[in-house]
Chains A and B, each alone.
Chain A
Amino acid sequence: MKFSVTVTLKKNVLDPQGKVVENTLKNLGMLNLKSIRQGKFFEIEIEEKNEEVAKKKVNEMCIKLLVNLIIEDYKIDIVK
């Protein structure tokens, strides 16, 4: 079973990298660009048939290591 995990900085945490990317894209003429937040992406494959159990495991991975909960939010999606 495959999952994707997206980790982004919380809304109230300054994302200077995202800001620089945003400004650069605006300089390239992307004038309707509203905002960009930069994040991290993990593809996780897990040996488990039960979706709920697998998702729980991925969630545990996020809490234990992948995400710094003080400054980051995360989203888990199943990859079909």
Chain B
Amino acid sequence: MADATLSRRGVLAGGAAITALQAPAVFGQAMPTLRCAFWDHWVPTGNGALRQLCGQWGERNRVNVSLDFINTTGNQLQLTAAAQAQSRSGHDIISLAPWDVGSYADQLEPVDDVMGRLIVKYGPANQVAEFLAKHRGGWRAVPATSGTQNKPALCRFDLLEQHAGLDVRAMWPAEDRRGPGADNWTWDTFLRAAEACHRAGVPFGLPMGQFTDAVDWVGALFASYGARVTDERGAPTIRGNGELRQVMDYAVRLARFLPNDVWAWDDASNNRALISGRSALVFNPPSAWAVAKRDAPQVAERCWTIPMPSGPRGRFLAYLPWNSAIWAFGRQKTAAKQLLEFLGERESAEVTTTTSNGYDIPPFATMSDFRVWSAEGPPVGTIYNYPLKAHHQATPSIAFAPAPPELASQMYIQALNTKVIARVAQGGETIEAALGWLEREINNMRRG
């Protein structure tokens, strides 16, 4: 009936109004503003890439891109996300920590179209990135390059050779091949090396506290033993779990050869241990090496990055991805999608990675060949094996997968994996008692 009363003039006026609203900004008109909250990069030059890329894109598309770099010191970025989710207002694009995509999934704009196009171009995304950014079968965030990191073993090759008899440069050369001894790079070899270096006064700097470096490497250790604490639905899988007891036993033995204060270490403690020359190995992105290059060049030129050791269930690499999400209440969702797609392109990812001195890891395996990783030094090739490469025969991992995000985020933030080890190694509990505590904690988190 309404159609019958609609005049020709009215239709024309309405059409003109809609066209005017949808038209891209042209000269003389105010440009729309796209507001982005990105993670404030550790690497001093890290934000420069996003500034440059967003500036380029904004100029080309006549969109004013407003960038806020919010740091995670004091969890400022997580607080911002929580506040914006509560108030349903804020930025258009926001960087989200790994598990936060699941936590805010219902308030995020689906980005299946963006990811679909990127996957067609570059192949499947990293499986952990996909696990974290997908919710109920749909992409709710675009896995970001900026800030995303692997945590392989960053070694002092001289100390490992001297005290543990391991020539890590020969085992994992700066080439797409495995060297002699690489097949024996297992957690058992690692334990023997840890003992030798501990005896020599340069213990491995492995944090066992409640920060992400600790949770991530312990997560990869658990994965390489096939030790899961829950199933896909979040139900605890602790009772009668042989793999879990095996990895617990291993971790407790390993803890004896670590500095006695690792239970209080934060994400910077392991970096300091390496940079000061007190430690022969840490699990870390190349940021520790980059700082050493500036502050302790004699340490930096003896550093070499190699994959994590393998366990009975294979080799797993600790992986910590950041995600760029679009709030469903954002005002510039179309422009936001276009920008995220642009940032996901290979050329943009390479700029981001190169500007961060190789720190940033793109979410596509086909992008693990950027020149920066073979060119950076000294020594040249030191971070060649930082991105996951085919010859590593490794799988990316994140602690507490495959639990549902709302449970996994709690277990991850509350570092249940390092705490359960600490209860035995530091607190003197039996493994059974500690695992009983772990099961009760998980069941408690599932309630409500």
Binding between chains A and B: no
